[in-house]
């Protein structure tokens, strides 16, 4: 357990160092590109690049801040866990993979970080080893492999050009398309959205880290870095269409979802769609601004959900909750503040970035049908947040007749810092880094549309909860909760898994058991049946014949 405190202090120290460095680089308008020549073969150079500028350092500082709070939180949350050391090492490896991806302009080093995120996320999703976690982990890793294939294809295409530095060779539309596929896969845009709610099988501290500043934000960060190339390739309309559909679909699904963690995961999906949408128009700094503010209050939301689940004997169904503000007031206050920041309540963290995004959408030439979907998605955020409030605050608890709820001081201390940041970080970042952000000239009526939509969502949420409309339409609920039947498209992973088992058996028979040394051990083994020796010799003969045919 002592290791966790060491990591907590180290990460908090790294946050201060990287934040001050990012401020220095920003005000000096200075960035550093470091390059090492690893291998030079004829005209091809294998080089290692590191890009250090204020954007990468600011993002890394936020990752360290959230990770340090989560480490402190995990000390109590995972205190009864047998494999605690394994959990800590996996989380540290996860953070290091994300940092490697952030500072890499080279596509090969991006792949190392990208693939590290995918592999470690699989290990964390199946951390609680049961059938549900196994299924969720398989869907997660197979979905993310599509993005990895996109990165590998970019490596192959750039190999022909003679360099893997992605800043040099981004005039190829096929490379941009593969980059786009990788980004929407990792950030769970349609049609790869199904893995994100399934990844909730991981421990709650991991969910707080994944959905705030790592893994799902990797695709957004990649698009922020290469946004100018995306705009030049004229493929931004694909991202625009997919991101708005993702926003709408995740908001509709959150209306009928009863799993506490999945509701928060779907709100993450909605905010990722918002970031991708503003990226597709070309405002990459606005997307980065929202990425940073969203990271703070989303980690806060997951921490509150973790305390509720922990107190309710690992039960995540919101229909069993109610009146928790009398039992755990600090946690409920934290949940309330972070949810209001998510909805864009005026002068909280999410308001500054979210309101700016909506104003830019109003002034930009956007298809009227897409604009209506965006406005509906904005209202849906308030509706499902109010539905969550109703179940947690206003209804009666429907759990055990005798219960013992308590809040832990150490967990509350880790959340207190994030509460203050959830209130202040939007305006603070605006003053420190984004003070030269665009002032959007709009009339008062158009400026008030976003606020009116939030109030409309509040009224609709109240009406729908009071009339119990969420539970009256079974088939509609089934359609929405299955993510528009996207989960059936991912039923094929069972077939892939069966093929993998078949390949494993063939490989084990032909390659491992049929090698020369193994054959000698079989011959010397007197206890083995003669028929099995004949079988192994037959396999070896077939394998030898195939090798000779290929050589010929």
pLDDT in tens, 220-259: 888 888 888 888 777 888 888 889 999 998 888 888 888 8
CB 107 within 8 A of CB 141: no
Residue 495, pLDDT above cutoff 70: no
Task: State pLDDT tens for residues 40-61.
Answer: 777 667 777 888 889 899 999 9
Task: State pLDDT tens for residues 310-346.
Answer: 877 778 888 888 778 788 888 888 888 888 888 888 8
Residue 538, SS3 per DSSP: helix
Q: What percent of the chain has pLDDT over 70?
A: 83
Find tokens 């946690």 and name the residue.
331
The listed range with the strongest mean pLDDT (226-235, 353-362, 539-548) is 353-362
Residue 139, pLDDT above cutoff 80: yes
Q: Dihedral (C-alpha) 172, 174, 180, 181: value to the nearest 10 degrees?
A: -160
Distance, C-alpha 19 to centroid of its chain: 23
Distance, C-alpha 134 to centroid of its chain: 19
pLDDT at 511: 46
Q: Predicted confidence band at 515 (pLDDT cuts at 50, 70, 90)?
A: very low
Find tokens 């394994």 and name the residue.
86
Q: Predicted confidence band at 507 (pLDDT cuts at 50, 70, 90)?
A: very low
Average confidence (pLDDT) over 475-504? 62
CB 301 within 8 A of CB 342: yes
Distance (Å, whole) CA 200 – CA 260: 10
Residue 317, SS3 per DSSP: strand
CB 382 within 8 A of CB 450: no
pLDDT at 1: 55
- Provide the token pair at 330: 């600090």
Residue 148, pLDDT above cutoff 80: yes
Range of lowest pLDDT (216-220, 273-277, 522-526): 522-526
Q: What percent of the chain has pLDDT over 90?
A: 3
DSSP 8-state secondary structure symbol assigned to residue 259: B
- Provide the token pair at 450: 């976003």
- Provide the token pair at 243: 């991101």
Find tokens 């550093």 and name the residue.
32
Residue 173, pLDDT above cutoff 60: yes
pLDDT at 504: 47
Find tokens 């269409």 and name the residue.
241
Average confidence (pLDDT) over 128-142? 82
Of residues 21, 92, 34, the one with CA closest to residue 61: 21
Domain residue ranges in the chain: 1-491, 503-551
Cβ burial 21-54 (10 Å sphere, 16+ → b, else e) = bbbebbeeeeeeeeeeeeeeeeeeeebebbbbbb
- Provide the token pair at 309: 């689940």
Residue 33, SS3 per DSSP: strand
Name the pTM for this structure.
0.84
Residue 234, SS3 per DSSP: coil
Say if residue 543 is exposed, middle or buried (CB neighbours under 10 Å; 0-12, 13-18, 19+). Answer: middle
What beta strand segments (E) does 91-134 contain?
none
Q: What's the mean per-residue pLDDT of the chain? A: 80
pLDDT at 414: 84
pLDDT at 204: 85
Residue 11, pLDDT above cutoff 60: yes
pLDDT at 60: 92
pLDDT at 116: 87
Q: What is the H or E stretch that residue 286 is in?
A: helix 284-311
Which residues, listed in sequence order, are joined to residue 49 by a DSSP beta bridge? 35
pLDDT at 534: 55
422 backbone dihedrals φ, ψ, rounded to 5°: -60, -25
Cβ burial 209-241 (10 Å sphere, 16+ → b, else e) = bbbbbbbbbbbbbbbbbbbebbbebebbeebbb
CB 304 within 8 A of CB 335: yes
Of residues 232, 210, 220, the one with CA closest to residue 180: 220
pLDDT at 61: 92
Q: What is the H or E stretch that residue 32 is in?
A: strand 32-41
Range of lowest pLDDT (354-358, 386-390, 507-511): 507-511
φ/ψ region of 250 (left if φ > 0, alpha if ψ in -120 to 50, else beta) reads alpha
Task: State pLDDT tens for residues 99-115.
Answer: 988 988 888 888 888 88
- Provide the token pair at 520: 């000698």
Distance, C-alpha 208 to centroid of its chain: 10
- Provide the token pair at 137: 């982990």
Distance (Å, whole) CA 159 – CA 255: 47
Average confidence (pLDDT) over 419-423? 88
């Amino acid at each position: 357990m002592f290791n966790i405190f060491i990591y907590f202090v180290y990460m908090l120290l790294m946050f201060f160092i990287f934040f001050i460095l990012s401020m220095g680089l920003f005000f000096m308008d200075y960035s550093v590109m470091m390059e090492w020549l690893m291998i030079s073969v004829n005209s091809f150079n294998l080089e290692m690049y590191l890009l250090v500028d204020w954007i990468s350092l600011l993002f890394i500082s936020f990752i360290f801040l959230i990770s340090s709070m989560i480490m402190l939180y995990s000390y109590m949350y995972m205190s009864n866990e047998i494999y605690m050391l394994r959990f800590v090492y996996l989380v540290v490896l996860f953070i290091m993979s994300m940092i490697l991806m952030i500072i890499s302009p080279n596509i090969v080093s991006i792949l190392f970080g990208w693939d590290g995120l995918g592999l470690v996320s699989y290990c964390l999703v199946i951390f609680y080893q049961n059938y549900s976690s196994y299924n969720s982990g398989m869907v997660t890793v197979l979905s993310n492999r599509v993005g990895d294939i996109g990165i590998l294809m970019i490596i192959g295409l750039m190999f022909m050009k003679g360099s893997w530095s992605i800043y040099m060779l981004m005039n190829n539309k096929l490379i941009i398309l593969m980059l786009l596929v990788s980004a929407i896969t990792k950030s769970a845009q349609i049609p790869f959205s199904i893995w994100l709610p399934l990844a909730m099988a991981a421990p709650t501290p991991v969910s707080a880290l994944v959905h705030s500043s790592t893994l799902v934000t990797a695709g957004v960060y990649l698009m922020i870095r290469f946004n100018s190339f995306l705009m030049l390739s004229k493929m931004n309309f694909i991202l625009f269409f997919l991101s708005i559909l993702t926003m709408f679909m995740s908001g509709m699904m959150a209306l009928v979802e009863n799993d506490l963690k999945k509701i928060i995961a779907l709100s993450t999906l909605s905010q990722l769609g918002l970031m991708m949408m503003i990226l597709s128009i070309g405002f990459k700094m606005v997307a980065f601004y929202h990425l940073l503010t969203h990271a703070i209050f989303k980690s806060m939301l997951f921490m509150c959900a973790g305390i509720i689940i922990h107190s309710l004997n690992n039960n995540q169904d919101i229909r069993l909750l109610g009146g928790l503000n009398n039992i755990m007031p600090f946690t409920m206050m934290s949940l309330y503040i972070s949810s209001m920041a998510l909805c864009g309540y005026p002068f909280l963290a999410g308001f500054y970035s979210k309101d700016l995004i909506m104003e830019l959408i109003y002034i930009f030439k956007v298809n009227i049908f897409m604009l209506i979907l965006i406005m509906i998605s904005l209202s849906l955020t308030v509706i499902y947040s109010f539905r969550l409030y109703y179940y947690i605050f206003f209804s009666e608890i429907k759990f055990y007749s005798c219960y013992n709820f308590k809040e832990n001081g150490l967990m509350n201390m880790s959340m207190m810092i994030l509460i203050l940041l959830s209130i202040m970080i939007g305006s603070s970042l605006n003053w420190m880094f984004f003070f030269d952000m665009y002032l959007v000239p709009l009339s008062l009526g158009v400026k008030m549309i976003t606020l009116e939509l939030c109030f409309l969502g509040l009224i609709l949420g109240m009406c729908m909860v009071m009339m119990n409309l969420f539970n009256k339409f079974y088939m509609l609920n089934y359609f929405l909760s299955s993510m528009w039947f996207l989960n059936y498209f991912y039923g094929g992973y069972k077939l892939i898994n069966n093929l993998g088992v078949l390949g494993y058996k063939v490989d084990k028979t032909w390659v491992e058991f049929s090698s020369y040394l193994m054959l000698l051990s079989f011959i010397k083994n007197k206890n083995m049946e003669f028929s099995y020796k004949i079988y192994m010799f037959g396999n070896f003969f077939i394998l030898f014949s195939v090798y000779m045919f290929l050589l010929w």
